[in-house]
């Protein structure tokens, strides 16, 4: 959602950059980095070409080549894809059924003698209350914790924000995320060393912007000034977007807890999700495809994409990394639906979804 004032602000920025000719790694990139860091209370931010690039850069800086990296099986392709691109081996771990995230137990079960890093994913924008416990497991072994915070712009836990729980957080500004830059990503970190490395990696591994000494095996991972301007303008709306999303989620919570066998993923105490997605598990035995078809055809309600409908170890491309069965991941992927949440969603639209879901639930789960 870009309202008229947002569109005007972007148009003015584009006019300015076409006039000055500063089209990459210029003042808008810096502005976006500063604003995003401030929004999350982080010391350093490095803007890059995508969320996947943000993850790969952090993993390359850590050094995961020919070593294991723990990744939850419930996540997007890119979380494990970035591990492989950085030269590491993804070890897919099971998740907690209440938060859809790693738990200290599922993490312990996936650690190997050669674990180089652990990636925690804040599914749907929810930061697990186990985050400190996960950090403690990592600290005991001296393993860096990395956050895939692609879903979690502005999400928090006990007053701390996404991106602040480990070595670094990787964010995405793909158009479906809570705020977008068209395409883009951001690394947040407290480490000045990681910030400096990330700046080198994103620009073809060059030692500095103006020299041609390539000191790292980087790539073309810069964010363009056009993307940075869109991202900076959109970020101004983050707080308002999250408020709207949270109001929608509260209405869903109140309605769904009354539906027999339906299990919405509720916010544990201390958590403040941005509700990138509103996830609910259908009662066991209810056919998801039939459920989605019924709410669409009979009520005109289109559910959003799942997070995710298939665990990574069942994705063909990760076949070689398939280990023991991961029963919770398999169950939560098979049973989840995501109710629509938009940053400008009204109460009437929310109630229309609730009516549709309640009616179809009554029929299919009854
Ligand atoms: C969107 C997403 C990414 C990748 O972000 P891109 O900007 O598309 O590269 C990585 N991880 C998760 C969990 C995502 O949802």
Count how many domains the chain has. Answer: 2
C-alpha to C-alpha distances, 286 to 34, 58, 292, 355, nearest whole angstrom: 47, 40, 11, 18
Given 235, 251, 277, the domain boundary residue is 235
Whether 22 and 77 share a structural domain: yes
For residue 91, give the nearest of 109, 103, 65 by alpha carbon.
Answer: 109
> Which residue, 215, 235, 255, sits at the end of a domain?
235
147 in ligand 1 pocket by Cβ < 6 Å?
A: no
The reply to whether ligand 1 has any atom less than 6 angstroms from the CB of 80 is: no
Could you say which of 235, 263, 281 is where a domain stops? Answer: 235
Task: Indicate which atom in ligand 1 lies nearest the CA of residue 123.
Answer: 13
How many alpha carbons fall within 13 Å on the CB side of residue 206?
11
Atom of ligand 1 nearest to the CA of 82: 10
Residues 218 and 265 in one domain: no
- Does residue 294 sit in the same domain as residue 339? yes
Domain span holding position 316: 238-364
Please tell me the residue having the least CA distance from ligand 1 atom 5: 51
Do 186 and 258 share a domain, yes or no? no
What is d(CA 283, CA 361) in angstroms, rounded to the nearest whole number? Answer: 9
Per-residue pLDDT, 15: 98
The reported pLDDT for the residue numbered 300 is 98
CA of residue 171 to ligand 1 center, whole Å: 8
Q: Is 29 in the pocket of ligand 1 (CB under 6 A)?
A: no
Q: Which long-range contacts (CB under 8 A, 24 or more apart) does 288-297 make?
A: 288/334, 288/335, 288/336, 288/337, 290/364, 291/337, 291/360, 291/361, 291/364, 292/337, 294/360, 294/363, 294/364, 295/353, 295/356, 295/357, 295/360
pLDDT for res 274: 98
pLDDT at 210: 82
299 lines ligand 1 (CB under 6 A): no
Start-end of H helices in the chain: 4-20, 27-39, 51-62, 77-85, 104-110, 131-141, 192-202, 225-235, 238-256, 288-299, 327-335, 347-364
Same domain for 312 and 183: no
Alpha carbon of 174 to ligand 1 centroid (Å): 7
CATH number of the structural domain spanning residue 196: 3.40.640.10
Surface-to-core class of residue 77, CB atoms within 10 Å of its CB (0-12 exposed, 13-18 middle, 19+ buried) = middle
3-state DSSP assignment of residue 336? strand
Task: Judge if 13 and 26 occupy the same domain.
Answer: yes
Indicate the burial class of 143 (C-beta count within 10 angstroms; 0-12, 13-18, 19 or more).
buried
How many C-beta atoms surround the C-beta of residue 116 within 10 A?
22
Q: Is 174 in the pocket of ligand 1 (CB under 6 A)?
A: yes
Which of ligand 1's atoms lies nearest the C-alpha of 50?
7
Q: Which residues pair with 188 in a beta bridge?
A: 45, 169
Token pair for 206: 């060059």
Question: Counting atoms of ligand 1 from 1, which one is nearest the CA of 184?
Answer: 7
Q: What's the farthest any 2 CA atoms get from each other in the chain?
A: 68
Determine if ligand 1 sits within 6 Å of the CB of residue 276: no
Same-domain status, 348 and 321: yes
Tokens at 350, concatenated: 């929310």
Q: What is the reported pLDDT for 149?
A: 99
> Given the CA of residue 185, which atom of ligand 1 is nearest to it?
7
CATH code, domain with 356 = 3.90.1150.10
Mutate to test the pocket of ligand 1, among 48, 150, 223, 274 (most ligand atoms within 8 A of CB): 150
- Distance (Å) from CA 51 to ligand 1 centroid: 5
Task: Check if 164 has its Cβ closer than 6 Å to any atom of ligand 1.
Answer: no
Return the residue matching tokens 């056919």: 287
Instruction: Name the one residue in this structure whose structure tokens are 């395409």.
Output: 183
Residue to probe by mutation, ligand 1, list 79, 100, 222, most atoms within 8 Å of CB: 79
Are the C-beta atoms of 312 and 75 separated by less than 8 Å?
yes
Residues 33 and 118 in one domain: yes
Q: Are residues 224 and 244 in the same domain?
A: no
Q: Quick check: CB of 306 below 6 Å from ligand 1?
A: no
Same domain, 352 and 276: yes
Q: Are residues 140 and 24 in the same domain?
A: yes
Ligand 1 close to Cβ of residue 148 (< 6 A): yes
Same domain for 222 and 268, yes or no, is no
What per-residue confidence (pLDDT) applies to 211?
81
Is 72 a pocket residue for ligand 1 (Cβ < 6 Å)? no
- pTM here is 0.98
- pLDDT block averages, 10 residues each, the chain of length 366: 97 98 98 98 98 99 98 98 98 98 98 98 98 98 98 98 98 98 98 98 91 94 98 98 98 97 98 98 97 98 97 96 96 98 98 98 90
| Per-residue pLDDT, 326 | 98
């Amino acid at each position: 959602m870009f309202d008229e004032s947002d569109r005007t602000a972007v148009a003015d920025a584009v006019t300015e950059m076409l006039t000055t000719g500063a089209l990459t790694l210029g003042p808008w990139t810096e502005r976006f980095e500063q604003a995003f860091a401030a929004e999350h209370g982080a010391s350093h931010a490095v803007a890059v070409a995508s969320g996947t690039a943000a993850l790969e850069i952090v993993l390359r800086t850590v050094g995961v080549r020919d070593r294991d990296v723990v990744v939850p099986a419930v996540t997007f392709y890119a979380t494990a894809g970035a591990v492989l691109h950085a030269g590491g081996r993804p070890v897919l771990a099971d998740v907690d059924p209440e938060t859809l995230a790693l738990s200290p137990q599922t993490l312990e079960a996936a650690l190997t003698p050669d674990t180089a890093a652990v990636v925690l994913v804040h599914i749907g924008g929810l930061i697990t209350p186990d985050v400190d416990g996960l950090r403690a497991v990592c600290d005991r072994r001296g393993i860096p914790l990395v956050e895939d915070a692609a879903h979690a712009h502005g999400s928090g836990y006990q007053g701390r924000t996404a991106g602040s729980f480990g070595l670094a957080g990787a964010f995405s500004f793909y158009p479906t995320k809570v705020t977008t830059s068209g395409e883009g990503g951001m690394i947040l970190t407290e480490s000045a060393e990681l910030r400096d490395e990330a700046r080198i990696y994103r620009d073809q591994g060059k030692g500095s912007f103006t020299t041609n000494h390539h000191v790292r095996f980087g790539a073309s991972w810069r964010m363009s000034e056009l993307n940075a301007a869109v991202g900076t303008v959109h970020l101004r709306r983050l707080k308002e977007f999250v408020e709207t999303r949270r109001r929608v989620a509260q209405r869903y919570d109140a309605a769904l807890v009354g539906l027999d066998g339906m299990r919405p993923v509720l916010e544990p105490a201390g958590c403040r999700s941005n509700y990138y997605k509103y996830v609910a598990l259908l009662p066991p035995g209810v056919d998801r495809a039939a459920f989605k078809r019924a709410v669409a055809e009979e009520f005109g309600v289109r559910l959003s994409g799942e997070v995710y409908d298939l665990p990574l170890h069942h994705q063909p491309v990760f076949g070689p990394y398939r280990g023991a069965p991961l029963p919770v991941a398999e169950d939560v992927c098979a049973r989840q639906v995501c109710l629509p949440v938009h940053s400008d969603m009204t109460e009437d639209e929310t109630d229309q979804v609730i009516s549709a879901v309640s009616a179809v639930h009554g029929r299919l789960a009854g």
